[in-house]
Amino acid sequence: MVRIKDIAREAQVSEGTVDRVLHNRGGVSKKTEQRIRKILEHRNYSINPVASALAMKNKYKIAVLIPYFNATDTFWKAPYLGVLKASEEVKNFGVNLSIYQFDQFDPKSYLKAFQRLIKDQPSALIFVPMFLKETSKMVPKLESLKIPYQFLNIDVDGYNNLTYIGQDSYTAGNIAAKLMHLSTETNRFLIVLSRENRTDNNAISKRIKGFNDYFSSHNLNHKTFTLKVNGFNNPEELAKTINDFISNNTGITGIFIPSSKISSVANVLKNTSLYSLVGFDNTPKNVTCLQQGFISFLISQKPFEQGYESVRIMTDFLAKAKTPKQKIYLPIDILIKENVAYNDMNQTLFEQEVSV
């Protein structure tokens, strides 16, 4: 008897992708869908109605609350894809997933998305605690309804979340400082932040603390400047602000951007060869700048794996009563132009199968 596993192996896709084609759920590129349907026809494959009926009886509903992504801000696409991949694999455990998205710069959007998902009565929630004030309102509601929840990407202390899955942001900042120290002649550094960066984004604040603490803990003389810019989407204004600041503060040899926006800074500097640039995340624009030599190092927080593992861990908790560790830190990868093409191959392969 031909199984979905056999079809997936022949088509060189995941079993979940075959399942989406069989049930016409979309999310598969036309080229991949045509290849799968051709194999299905050749193998005379037909859906087992009994197995299909059993699969429809979902025992658990996991809600995922995550920021939108778009063409200019692609970071959140990676964890979204990770969640999508895991959602296919956990269906055999009776788990159904619903993804709710919000504007990462709008706390009202965040709260409204939460209110929508609560109405659907989820068994559990995985979410990015982007805004502290709103999160403090959401958590008591979850706990009163006895809905287990876990934090994704951003770690916030003081709550009874099942676990946190993501990067050790403090250590990542420490690593960024070490890279900067080893690649520059003088310890005069500029940290560039957007005024849009919320002060309650613990990930960014912990990276900055880890960065500064590295020099203090190693008794290294250093000077750190902090520059807040009016966003990263206006190249002309950004170029003037950064280059004017550097001209007025001579001796800066390193620039640290504790967010995924380092490509915006690299593209407006007059001469990137004068500085060591260290930032975060292998978004397409960042990777291009890294490969061109405009960025020295990128630190990856494995966003695809964050999304994927968060679903797997919550499924294990619901279906198998497996309680995870309080914090689950993913590997911190240091990317240079020679190795970046081989990073996150799981995401690359999965993205070729789906249409997002």
Is a pLDDT exceeding 60 seen at residue 90?
yes
Average pLDDT over residues 299-320: 94
pLDDT at 25: 64
Identify the weakest region by mean pLDDT among 53-57, 131-135, 279-283, 338-342.
Answer: 53-57
Class in CATH terms, 169-300:
alpha beta
Q: Do domains 58-167+303-331+347-351 and 169-300 have the same CATH topology?
A: yes
- The rounded distance, in Å, linking the Cα atoms of 134 and 147 is 17
Determine which of 62-71, 121-130, 263-272, 337-346 has the lowest per-residue pLDDT on average: 337-346
Give the total residue count for the chain.
356
Mean pLDDT of 269-295: 92
Given the structure tokens 């560790």, which residue do they identify?
A: 325
- What residue ranges do the domains of the chain occupy? 1-57, 58-167+303-331+347-351, 169-300
Inform me whether the pLDDT recorded for 199 exceeds 50: no
Predicted confidence at residue 258, as pLDDT, reads 95
Give the Cα separation of 43 and 7 in Å (integer).
8
Domain 1-57 falls under CATH 1.10.260.40: yes
- Count CB atoms within 10 A of the CB of residue 308: 25
Q: What would the pLDDT profile of 223-278 be if each residue is shown by its tens digit?
A: 999 999 988 888 999 999 999 999 999 899 999 999 999 999 999 998 888 899 99
pLDDT at 58: 57
List, in order, residues 6 or more apart from 29 with CB less than 8 Å away: 352, 353, 354, 355
The whole-chain average pLDDT of the chain stands at 89
What is the rounded CA–CA span in Å between residue 59 and residue 51? Answer: 15
Fold (CATH) for 58-167+303-331+347-351 = Rossmann fold (3.40.50)
At 52, the pLDDT band (50, 70, 90 cuts) reads: low
On whether the CB atoms of residues 11 and 33 are closer than 8 A, the answer is: no
pLDDT at 16 over 90: no
